[in-house]
Amino acid sequence: MHPFPPSPRSPAPLVRTTAELRAAGHSPWTIARAVREGELVRVRRGRYVEPGHTADLLDAARIGGRLDCVSLLAALGVFVLERPLPHVQLDPSASRRPRLSPGARRHWRSTDAGADELVVGIVEALAQAVRCQSPRASVATLDSAWHLGLVDEAGIDEVMARLPRRYAVLRRLLDPRSEAGTESLVRLLLRALGCDVDLQVTIPGVGRVDLLVDGWLIVECDSKQFHGGWAEHKNDRRRDLAALGLGFTTVRLLAEDVFFSPERVQADLRAAIARGRRSSNS
């Protein structure tokens, strides 16, 4: 089920008041029946939403906020390195609200979203996510949103314009060709090593590879999502052998190592690149 069912008034999910429902022809009795039968969800006194929303969005609605930051982005399929409890935008002038779950985050700021909308705009969410994440995770998130078409280059520039100047350095690190967060993170590790990195390169006889480093090292970023079956593993081995026959070396990295042990991954890549350079000079 899509987390945000469309509305005739707004592409964002909406909270509806008792007054709005009464104006649409509902009585207190029909509203109560709709809640009992699951046709409406009562999130607060006098506030209702349609069923089918995520738990995070309902948590935001219950405190009078909007789903924001990494929580919203994850629900939309954008890569975020960690998925903590809900991040919720609240208007600075909002009165005191019920507590969020331990570990959840409130973001007190103004928003361009309508008063009845339950999510912030994608540009707002991305700008907040950059503030809430590490620089490397932020680059991967921005790459992902750009690659998915949720923002274009102008949208990326708007995100950067909403951030303090110290974040401007991230702009030159972005590349929407990255098809997965792992590719973005590995690209950053390799660039820090001074490597020339190209993405999504098609090699005749091998196929398309995730990253081509210095023209000779293929780096593939494997995850359970796309490499879970034996057929996929067999195909990978055959591609690696074909690449070897053409003079390429292939390194396969596990997503969990890239996410949680980046220093070790970078050290291993540094060693592999150094050996390759020595071999080419001998």
Q: pLDDT digit string (tens) for 34-49?
A: 999 999 999 988 999 9
83 pLDDT band, cuts 50/70/90, is confident
Q: In terms of domains, do 154 and 33 share one?
A: yes
CA–CA distances in Å: residue 218 to residues 70, 149, 152, 233, 246: 31, 27, 28, 16, 12
The lowest-confidence range among 68-82, 104-118, 121-135, 218-232 is: 218-232
Q: Which of 161, 196, 215 is the last residue of a domain?
A: 161
Most confident of 155-159, 250-254, 276-280: 155-159
Residue 10 has pLDDT above 80, yes or no: no
Mean pLDDT of 77-102: 81
Q: In terms of domains, do 35 and 119 share one?
A: yes
Q: What's the confidence (pLDDT) of residue 5?
A: 37
Q: In terms of domains, do 120 and 53 share one?
A: yes
188 versus 6: which is more confidently predicted? Answer: 188
- Output the pTM of the full model: 0.87
Mean pLDDT of 126-149: 97
Q: In terms of domains, do 48 and 131 share one?
A: yes
235 within a domain of the structure (yes/no)? yes
Mean pLDDT of 11-36: 89
Q: In terms of domains, do 263 and 187 share one?
A: yes
Q: How many domains does the chain fold into? A: 2
The lowest-confidence range among 48-52, 82-86, 128-132 is: 82-86
Q: What is the CATH number of the domain that holds 247?
A: 3.40.960.10
The lowest-confidence range among 50-59, 134-143, 168-177, 200-209 is: 50-59
Q: What's the confidence (pLDDT) of residue 163?
A: 98
Q: How many CA atoms lie within 13 A of 220 on its CB side?
A: 21
Q: Which of 131, 161, 191 is the last residue of a domain?
A: 161
Q: In terms of domains, do 146 and 187 share one?
A: no
28 within a domain of the structure (yes/no)? yes
User: 176-185 pLDDT, tens per residue?
Assistant: 999 999 999 9
65 within a domain of the structure (yes/no)? yes
User: 201-254 pLDDT, tens per residue?
Assistant: 999 999 999 999 999 999 999 766 555 576 777 888 889 898 899 999 999 999
Mean pLDDT of 124-139: 97
Q: How many helices (H) and strands (E) does the chain have?
A: 11, 10
Q: In terms of domains, do 82 and 33 share one?
A: yes
110 within a domain of the structure (yes/no)? yes
3 within a domain of the structure (yes/no)? no
Q: Do 151 and 144 contact (CB within 8 A), yes or no? A: no
Q: In terms of domains, do 151 and 28 share one?
A: yes
Q: What's the confidence (pLDDT) of residue 160?
A: 98
Q: In terms of domains, do 103 and 157 share one?
A: yes
Q: Do 41 and 58 contact (CB within 8 A), yes or no? A: yes
CA–CA distances in Å: residue 81 to residues 71, 74, 165: 11, 10, 23
Q: What's the confidence (pLDDT) of residue 8?
A: 39
Which domain range does residue 233 map to?
181-281
Q: In terms of domains, do 193 and 154 share one?
A: no
Q: Which of 97, 130, 161 is the last residue of a domain?
A: 161
268 within a domain of the structure (yes/no)? yes
Q: Do 112 and 121 contact (CB within 8 A), yes or no? A: yes
- Rounded mean pLDDT of the chain? 88
Q: In terms of domains, do 45 and 128 share one?
A: yes
6 within a domain of the structure (yes/no)? no
271 within a domain of the structure (yes/no)? yes
Q: In terms of domains, do 23 and 56 share one?
A: yes
Q: If we measure between CA atoms, which residue out of 103, 118, 85 comes closest to residue 15?
A: 118
